Structure 1
Amino acid sequence: MNRDQVLNALFADGWKAEYLEADHFYGRATIGNQEVTVIGTSEKAEVGADMALTMARVVIQTIKERAGEPIVFLLDTQGQRLRRRDELMGLNGYMAHLAKAVELARQRGHVILSVVYGEAVSGGYISTGMMADACYALADAEIKVMNLPAMSRITKIPLDQLEALAKQSPVFSPGVENYLRMGHLDAVWQGDYAEQLAAAIKNLQTKTSAEIGKDSRIQRGVERGGRRTAGEVIKRVLGHA
């Protein structure tokens, strides 16, 4: 689905754009009887310093002006912008600033939800979607950290060996089903997206801050068979800390 299709599908009561460019946008929408802040990327956007700063500003503005209003990230990004200008500006710092803004919103009582409707890759996803209280994806979306040929070049592990590992473990494999198995995604949506979004926000709003703050991704990954040893490794590391 493209941006306009997903906006229409998620916000049956309509949404009002405050900023709308080809690769990123923000505004507000009505879900049931409440308003939500919508921040998104589109057209496989590259998240650079300017875009990260814009999204952080919208999050901070929401904290200041609309206490407790839910924040929804809609994502279609190929990752961080790999450009000399952005790297020289310190892109990692801008993306960290965005992540900190999202965490501040959580601490101030805003529930934060992300929906991957296109592509979600690497740094462009980590500072937004992976920072949310709950992460969802549409069935035809694509989530990945790095494709296998690139992983082979970086790690020096032969591609055929990585392809064999990918068949055995979702950790090496792209795709929403693999991220669901690893416990990262709360669910993959099909059908009535507006109804599922409303239910997801309502579910978050019934939880305490302690429940929201608890990271259950490892446990879900174990239960779903996607991360069989992660929990045990964490226990061993903490035991020697």
Structure 2
Amino acid sequence: MNWHALATRLFPQGFEIAEHACFLSGTAQVDGRSVAVIGTTEHTPIGVEIALAQAQAVLATVRDHPQRPIIILVDTQGQRLRHRDEMLGINSYMAHLGKCMELARRNGHVIIGLVYDQALSGGFLTSGLMADACYALPDATIRVMGLPAMARITKVPEERLTELAKDNPVFAPGPANYVRMGGLQAIWDGDLAACLVKALSEAGSTDQRSALGQARGGRKWAQRVIDAVISGDHV
């Protein structure tokens, strides 16, 4: 789904969103109030320019529109893998974006992420996964690392990882597996505008992903480790 078709379904009360070099920014009306819209399109990789543009848009919202909800529309193939971006410190730009999102949250901005097409690696980590709650469309492509790349990094044969992925969502791509792990709150289908209204009303600033992953059976140890650290007990 292209971003304009998505926005038409997501914001039936109207929207003013501009696209510039695969970067989306603007405003929309949701349930009678204005929300800020920030995102990417065309599977664009997140380089220093887009990371900085997203950060600037978040900070402008915090400065000019206190507590206005922020909607993050995610479609990215991950961070841009170029020597130039690495030399400029793409990791610092993406960390800056994540910090800006946290600043917005601490200043009362509800942040909702929606993966409407593709979400890979670092581009997803510092956008949708930084939201108070992240959702996805049924046909979205989501993964932090593909199994071939994971096999090269871990030295575990790809065939073994493929077998593990059948039962363990940590190794498997796709929105359903990220729901099981708690990374996604839910998958949206049908009336997207109603889904967004509901998400905004239910959003909270407390990170529930580990608890959701434990309850859904996708991440069995994360919450247990967190509880043990807080209590000082051994796992």
TM, length-normalised to structure 2: 0.95
| Unaligned ranges ≥5, structure 2 | none
Aligned-residue CA RMSD (Å): 1.5
Q: How far apart in 2 are the matches of 1:51 and 1:226?
A: 32
CA contact (8 A) 1:22 1:43 kept: no
Answering whether residue 6 of structure 2 is matched by residue 6 of structure 1, we say yes
Q: How far apart in 2 are the matches of 1:92 and 1:61?
A: 22
After superposing the two structures, state which structure 1 stretch, 31-40 or 227-236, moved more: 227-236
The equivalent residue for 1:86 is: 85
Query: Does the residue aligned with 1:25 lie in a helix, a strand or coil?
Result: strand
The residue type equivalent to 1:200 in the other structure is A
The equivalent residue for 1:209 is: none
The structure 2 residue matched to 1:220, chosen from 206, 212, 222, is 212
CA contact (8 A) 2:120 2:143 kept: yes
CA contact (8 A) 2:54 2:97 kept: yes
The equivalent residue for 2:26 is: 27
**Which residues of 2 match residues 26-65 of structure 1 at below 5 A?**
26-65=25-64
Q: How far apart in 1 are the matches of 2:113 and 2:159?
A: 34
The number of equivalent residue pairs is 233
Q: How far apart in 2 are the matches of 1:232 and 1:108?
A: 29
Query: Does the residue aligned with 1:100 lie in a helix, a strand or coil?
Result: helix
**Which residues of 2 match residues 147-162 of structure 1 at below 5 A?**
147-162=146-161
CA contact (8 A) 2:170 2:218 kept: yes
Query: Does the residue aligned with 2:77 lie in a helix, a strand or coil?
Result: strand
Q: How far apart in 1 are the matches of 2:9 and 2:223?
A: 37
Tell me the CA shift for residue 199 of structure 1: 1.6
The equivalent residue for 1:207 is: none
TM, length-normalised to structure 1: 0.92
Tell me the CA shift for residue 21 of structure 1: 2.4
Query: Does the residue aligned with 1:45 lie in a helix, a strand or coil?
Result: coil
The residue type equivalent to 2:222 in the other structure is A
Tell me the CA shift for residue 230 of structure 1: 2.6
Per-residue CA deviation, residues 57-106 of structure 1 (Å, 9 max, x unaligned), is 01111111111100000000010010111110001111111111111111
